[in-house]
Structure 1
Amino acid sequence: MMNWIKFFSAFLLALAIVLVTIIFTNAQKPFSAALQNAEKSVQQSGELLSIEHAEIYNGTISMVTVFGKDEKGIEKAVFVDEKSGKILDSVKLEDGIDSKQAIQTVKSELKVDKILHVTLGVEGEYPVWEVAFKSENGKLNYVYVFFENGEWWKRILNL
């Protein structure tokens, strides 16, 4: 009788591990596909010669920001519409602040407990850094900082 209990316990554990793995893999497929399509679109257009990484930005328009270097070796960020694969805009990274400076801008005025993510995207016609963080009281906050000069654009606090 004890062997049957061990067998069913091991079987249920293995089944749970397999199901969690399948669910997690299927949940990641849309994000992976969006990143791969954006990278392919950027390379085919010739905007970037080499790609370092890409990240998804969900603002008024969902887009993928692809970071890399162009044929002259200049580091750029290219913004690609997630749905159509159309290139929306691009910026030279040397023309604005980096993610660390965006975080410092936020930390200089607000009490930050934990940074969740920092993502570059476009709102309207301006590139912005979206800084998502938890404050000391455990509340979720989103702060948008202009890429070009590091000034505040919008704050969504204490969610």
Structure 2
Amino acid sequence: MKKWIIFIVIFVVVILGLLIKVYFTSVGPVKAAEKKAFAQANEEISLKEVEDFHIYNGLETVNVLEGKSTKGEKIIVWIPEKSKKVFVKKAKDGLSKEEAIQKLLQEKKPKKIISVRLGMEKNIPLWEIYYRSKNNLINYYYVHFETGEWLKKIENL
């Protein structure tokens, strides 16, 4: 009986170790991209801290940093992977996440909003809203970050 318990404990520890290794291996490239984006952003503007980082995959891949400058202002930095040009905007100069959602709600009646995130296409900063419609189909709604104008929709996928 003791042999079985020891075998089960060793098996669980090995499986747990493998899962942890897979997790850290999969997170590694994102952390490296964040570090590189932070360094590029710091060349343009002094960042005090990064509150959020994500990779937007639209027409091209764009790294997006949300954080605070050394002056304490909330800023957003977009870095397209191909051009490496750094776009910096103060958060107050554009729509907030909640305001972007309100733009969607004025026009559509989503069943569930799945994600709202910043992105950039053709050097235009935007909010991408990913949601499910009443008939459970996937939809994307793109809102211009600065003006709040609708840019494009992808519906009923």
Confirm or deny a common fold (TM above 0.5).
yes
Map of 1:110 onto structure 2: 108
Residue 95 (1) aligns with residue 96 (2): no
Q: Which runs of no fewer than 5 residues in structure 2 stay unpaired?
A: none
Q: In structure 1, what is the equivalent of residue 15 of structure 2?
A: 16
Contact 1:51 1:66 survives alignment (8 Å): no
- The 3-state SS of whatever aligns with 1:68 is strand
Q: Distance in 1 between matches of 2:61 and 2:34?
A: 12
- In structure 2, what residue type is equivalent to 1:31? V
Alignment of 1:17-32 (within 5 A): 17-32=16-31
Tell me how far apart the structure 1 counterparts of residues 45 and 24 of structure 2 sit (CA, whole Å). 31
Pairwise mapping of residues 76-155 of structure 1 onto structure 2 (< 5 A)? 76-82=75-81, 86-155=84-153
Q: Greater CA deviation, 59-68 or 17-26?
A: 59-68
Q: CA-to-partner distance for each residue in 1:82-120, whole Å, 9 max, x for gaps?
A: 467x23322232222111111121123223333332221
CA contact (8 A) 1:42 1:87 kept: no
Structure 1 residues 5, 67: CA separation in 2 closer, same or farther (over 3 Å shift)?
same
Equivalent in the alignment of 1:48: 46
Q: In terms of mean alpha carbon deviation, does 34-43 or 51-60 score higher?
A: 51-60
1:30 Cα deviation after fit: 0.6
Partners in 1 of 2:75 and 2:151 — Cα distance?
22
Q: Secondary structure at the match of 1:111?
A: coil
Structure 1 residue 29: Cα displacement: 0.6
In the TM superposition, residue 73 of structure 1 has moved relative to its aligned partner by 4.7
Partner AA of 1:12 in structure 2: F
Cα-Cα RMSD: 2.3
Cα distance in 2 for residues equivalent to 1:23 and 1:149: 42
**1:46 to 1:123, Cα distance in 2 relative to 1, 3 A:** closer
CA deviation after TM superposition for structure 1 residue 75, in Å: 3.1
Taking every aligned residue pair, what percent have the same amino acid on both sides?
Answer: 34
Q: 1:82 to 1:3 in 2, by over 3 A?
A: farther
TM-score for both structures, normalised by structure 1: 0.82
TM-score under structure 2 normalisation?
Answer: 0.83
Q: CA deviation at 1:74?
A: 4.1
> Do the aligned partners of 1:79 and 1:122 also contact (CA within 8 Å) in 2?
yes
